[in-house]
């Protein structure tokens, strides 16, 4: 495992890391030398094992990131295990399992559930690490949004709204936390071939996404590694409140 000295000795919490892109982020951060604290509503042990098998350092906890008490325990476990939290990657979300439908068919309960997981969780986890990071006058928060916000993607209105909120929250949190040395940025991937995206998207939608790109190929979780490490490290030290779009040149902002 090659260590990026920028992340050696750092400690990163990754939410939604039991599978998919969150697992890729966890492996990448650990591969770059960070100790990773992985959480998910599902048992993240499979990712913990993968990190350790690759020579990295990880612990995992089943955590519902919408629950303040559970998130407080997660942060306490991270500090207990590694003494600090330097990086928070807010990746957990409801996405793949969401049925695509017209907004006129989305129920108010479905709306609320997506908003609670995709926005309240970002608020709760960030709120939980902010005092610790502020005390250390150092920290990097990476919120995961989506280019569905730029593209006006239809049939997922609650999801699109939640990710728009994540971008907006990133800016306001960046303004509040800058004076404490904490950077808050947003990573906005295009349609990325996680298992959730593969099962949740039609073949037509996947092909349409390829054709809309400047680089006409599928977007893979590995395409997000470089941008994630950039935002998680001091390589992006003077950057905050920004959204980095990674979609093979579909969206140009
Ligand atoms: N795959 C894509 O095309 C794509 C594109 C843009 C953005 N994204 C975003 O990237 C992230 C990862 O997407 P993915 O494709 O790997 O999806 P995924 O469904 O595989 O991963 C999401 C993870 O979040 C976890 N999770 C859900 N609710 C949770 C909760 N309350 N507490 C803790 N964990 C919870 C799930 O169990 C799951 O492991 C999401 O934020 C998604 O919105 C994905």
Which CATH number characterizes residue 212's domain?
3.40.50.720
How high is the pLDDT of residue 253?
Answer: 79
Is residue 2 one of the residues assigned to a domain? no
Angle at Cα 86 formed by Cα 37 and Cα 117, nearest 5°? Answer: 55
- Asked whether residue 252 is assigned to any structural domain, the reply reads no
Residue 3 in tokens: 């260590």
Catalytic residue among 16, 159, 166, 244: 159
Q: What's residue 3's pLDDT?
A: 66
Domain membership flag for residue 28: yes
- Assess whether the C-beta atom of 74 lies below 6 angstroms from ligand 1: no
Annotated catalytic residue 159: yes
Measured between alpha carbons, how far is 7 from 212 in angstroms, rounded to an integer? 34
Q: Name the region of 79 (left: φ>0; alpha: ψ -120 to 50; beta: rest).
A: alpha
How many separate domains does the chain show?
A: 1
Which pLDDT belongs to residue 199?
Answer: 87
Q: Return the pLDDT at 96.
A: 87
Is 4 among the domain residues? no
34 within some domain: yes
Tell which one of 24, 93, 156, 170 to mutate to probe ligand 1, the residue whose CB is within 8 A of the most ligand atoms: 93
Contact 218 CB / ligand 1 (< 6 Å) = no
Domain for residue 176, yes or no? yes
Task: Confirm whether pTM is higher than 0.95.
Answer: yes
Q: What is the pLDDT of residue 1?
A: 57
Give the domain range for residue 166.
Answer: 11-246
CA-nearest residue, atom 33 of ligand 1:
40
Say how many Å lie between the CA of residue 135 and the centre of ligand 1: 30
Mapping DSSP to helix (H, G, I), strand (E, B) and coil, where does residue 152 land?
coil
Provide the 10 A C-beta neighbour count for residue 6: 17
Q: Which of 46, 92, 99, 193 to mutate to test the pocket of ligand 1 (most atoms within 8 A of CB)?
A: 92
Identify whether 148 is part of a domain.
Answer: yes
Strands 139-144 and 87-90: parallel
Ligand 1 and 29: CB distance under 6 A: no
CB 146 less than 6 A from any atom of ligand 1: yes
One digit per residue, pLDDT tens: the chain, 253 residues?
A: 566 677 999 999 999 999 999 999 999 999 999 999 999 999 999 999 999 999 999 999 999 999 999 999 999 999 999 999 999 999 999 998 999 999 999 999 999 999 999 999 999 999 999 999 999 999 999 999 999 999 999 999 999 999 999 999 999 999 999 999 999 999 999 999 999 999 888 899 899 999 999 999 999 999 999 999 999 999 999 999 999 999 999 999 7
Evaluate whether residue 1 is within a structural domain.
no
Q: Write the residue with the smallest CA distance to atom 34 of ligand 1.
A: 40
Please work out whether the CB of residue 66 comes within 6 Å of at least one atom of ligand 1. Answer: yes
Tell which residue, 70, 89, 77, has the closest CA to residue 32.
89
Beta bridge partner(s), residue 35: 11, 57
């Amino acid at each position: 495992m090659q260590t990026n000295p920028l992340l050696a000795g750092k400690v990163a919490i990754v939410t939604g890391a039991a599978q998919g892109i969150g697992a890729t982020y966890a492996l990448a951060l650990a591969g770059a030398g960070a100790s990773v604290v992985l959480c998910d509503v599902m048992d993240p042990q499979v990712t913990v094992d993968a990190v350790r098998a690759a020579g990295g350092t990880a612990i995992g906890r089943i955590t519902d990131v919408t629950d303040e008490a559970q998130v407080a325990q997660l942060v306490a476990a991270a500090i207990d295990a590694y003494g600090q939290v330097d990086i928070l990657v807010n990746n957990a979300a409801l996405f793949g399992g969401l049925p695509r439908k017209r907004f006129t068919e989305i129920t108010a309960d479905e709306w609320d559930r997506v908003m609670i997981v995709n926005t309240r969780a970002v608020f709760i986890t960030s709120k939980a690490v902010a005092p610790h990071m502020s005390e250390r006058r150092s920290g990097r928060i990476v919120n995961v949004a989506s280019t569905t916000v730029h593209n006006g993607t239809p049939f997922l209105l609650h999801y699109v709204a939640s990710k728009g909120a994540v971008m907006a929250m990133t800016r306001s949190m960046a303004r509040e936390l800058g004076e404490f040395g904490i950077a808050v940025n947003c990573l906005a991937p295009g349609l990325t071939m996680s298992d959730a995206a593969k099962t949740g998207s039609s073949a037509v939608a996947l092909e349409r996404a390829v054709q809309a790109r400047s680089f006409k190929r599928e977007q893979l979780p590995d395409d997000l590694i470089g941008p994630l490490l950039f935002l998680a490290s001091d390589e992006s030290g003077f950057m905050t409140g920004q959204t980095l779009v990674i979609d093979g040149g579909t969206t140009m902002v």
